[in-house]
Structure 1
């Protein structure tokens, strides 16, 4: 796993606003603190989220873009790409692969952080269909699409030259039995992670309860990894894509 001081550019690809903040905001803060340029790519605007029936889906999309932009700023990210696919309808298809390949070629990251491309049957909530489709498309965009000059020749016409990503980091791991995972210590970033999550005001009925759950869940990851008491951690499955 590349270390923060070895990374100049990283790209985070997720299905919805707030996905990155649950899965990797602490790690992103580590990266930006070390000087890395991090870009967020949101496949959807999260139009199907929230709890207020009086808000139109178009307005919810606008709200969630604003919330994600504020959340990103909490961890040092100012470059966001919104692809505008429909929330709840993400498909692993050539259109999404092309969109993500374009972003990879434009950003030219060493690392792509994304969601699991596989269904974890032990976690219904962890296997949202949009997440899985996004993970599948991101995986295909990293290899073979973004690096292959003969895939999506229209991107070459646009001036998007091929690019090879060094590593893919899967947030929370892929859910496969006995898979190796890398643990990232985010203890000094836990407050920033929580602030990023709190920025998604439209999605939280109980923000104070959310903070306690975050400290419990990500504290337990640190315990499982053998970090000192009072630590917090995020975990990833890391695939070498060089």
Structure 2
């Protein structure tokens, strides 16, 4: 298996084979919590205008996501797992748009197959890759607003690669580095309304879920499908 770690939008565009689009803080952690809470389908979209259009066409859809980390006007929820864990989501359809993760999905046009990447379902991702045994595996780290690489996404790519190669990996050290580095923003008092400290822990709750989220296509829209392992 040829494994490559790629970064940002250019990485998504270069991705080949089985592709994992990674967004730990917070898009694909949010998506996992949403499915665990009972959401039936998630449409990941790049453009916020499309999200608003889908909501207009289907008023019962939930709009979830962010721009500049904060909930856009008219959205039901921001890009925060803490807002979803205590919410009744059974049977709901969700439209999800973010500055990083969902952009990766719509730009990975050369991939044979796409799944989302987060620490909360890392072991399921690794199991799925082992089952599929692709010739090429692309681990795409979407970074902060697709503008700069981030430790949390790169750490997950390195974690997945190490596990697949049966190499040692120190997850607790990764968490501590994130707590004092890229994740420090979750502990800033003035950001608690949209980036609360609890999101840090929820996004790094390793292997909480035993499913992967696979990207499928329906006409002109992508959607995420939950695959239990």
TM-score, normalisation: structure 2: 0.33
Question: Which has more strand, going by share of residues?
Answer: 2
- Choose 1 or 2 for highest CA Rg: 1
Question: Which has more helix, going by share of residues?
Answer: 1
TM-score, normalisation: structure 1: 0.31
